[in-house]
Amino acid sequence: MKTRTVDGRIDRLARPQHGVVALADIVGNGITQDQLRARLDRGSLVRLDAGVYRTIGARRSWEQAVLAACLAAGPEALASHRAAAVLWGLIDPPAPVEIVVPYEQCPTPVGALLHRSTDLRQVDVARRRGIPVTNPIRTVGDLGAVAPRLVPTAIERGLYLDRFSVDALQRLVEDLSRPGRRGLGVLRRTLQRRELRGVKSYSPLESTFAAIAATTGVRVEYQYRVELEGRRYVLDFAVPAVKVGVEVDGLETRATRESLDHCDERQNRLVLDGWYLLRYTSTHLRQRRAAIRRELTRLVESRLHSL
């Protein structure tokens, strides 16, 4: 009965932590070193790193590895950089097990990339999927130090998911920028080059199209409202003087019969009112940038000549 009670206590500790548990938590719950050794000897616990263990029934996962690295590196270790960006949905997996600590010395966890920070603040600390992690704002600031090409994507996804605002990112740059501080220069330059400036995008695709349109010389308006017969329609982008609209669509936009019917009815009403509409998917925006520039320019020019 005593054995089952000890195993139950360990399981209750590990279950909400992706199946991993730290030595400090085990000892703090009244489990002795002898009881711990007995479970290691019989294989019901597996040592992952110094002072970090996995219950034998726990499924291995990337999240488990990230949390184990945080536990091994000390009480203030956080998932960070690319690992944090994946946890917040700012970039796509896979990502390395990447953590940050605010102290000068600590063991480097097995299989992890360890960063040290002298400006990690309490406000930067969050929790996601049971893992201590840098908050989304700090994550984007750090991301530029290791993967600068991922920063534009992380910004747009974070804005779309309401993880942060453009103003919050700018405040991070102002608060932490200093000579030699890696990452924030990338964030500053990306915000300066962002065609939508401080406006929140309603899809990560919209910022991509805005950047393409900026190279055409055609001035487009973002989230343009059209009133038709008492109903309001919002175009992603528009050149109102010539009634040219542009819609950028993810798969979810037309994923159901109801959404398909709504999109088609909306488009028909706009066309009957004299609007010309161009539609682009994420694949188009990635692979047909030059063609999109030509199509937008040609349509606007032809409309101007027909007026």
User: Could you please report the per-residue DSSP string of the chain?
Assistant: -HHHHHHHHHHHHHGGGTTEEEHHHHHHTT--HHHHHHHHHHTSEEEEETTEEEETTSPP-HHHHHHHHHHHH-TT-EE-HHHHHHHTTSSPSP---EEEESSS--PPPTT-EEEE-S---GGGEEEETTEEEE-HHHHHHHHHHH-GGGHHHHHHHHHHTTS--HHHHHHHHHHH--TT-TTHHHHHHHHHH-TTTTPPPSSHHHHHHHHHHTTTT---EEEEEEEETTEEEEEEEEEGGGTEEEEEE-GGGGSSHHHHHHHHHHHHHHHHTT-EEEEEEHHHHHH-HHHHHHHHHHHHHHHHHH-
Taking 60 as the threshold, does the pLDDT of residue 256 lie above it?
Answer: no
For the domain spanning 2-58, the CATH number is: 1.10.10
Q: What is the pLDDT of residues 105-140, one digit of tens each?
A: 999 999 999 999 999 999 999 999 999 999 999 999
Taking 60 as the threshold, does the pLDDT of residue 301 lie above it?
Answer: yes
For the domain spanning 204-306, the CATH number is: 3.40.960.10
pLDDT band at 1 (very low <50, low <70, confident <90, very high): very low
Q: What is the pLDDT of residues 187-235, one digit of tens each?
A: 999 999 999 988 888 888 899 999 999 999 999 999 999 999 899 999 9
CA distances from 27 to 6, 18, 20 (A): 11, 19, 14
Question: Looking at 20-34, 85-99, 139-153, 238-252, which range is the least confident one?
Answer: 238-252
Taking 70 as the threshold, does the pLDDT of residue 252 lie above it?
Answer: no
| Structural domain spans, the chain | 2-58, 63-193, 204-306
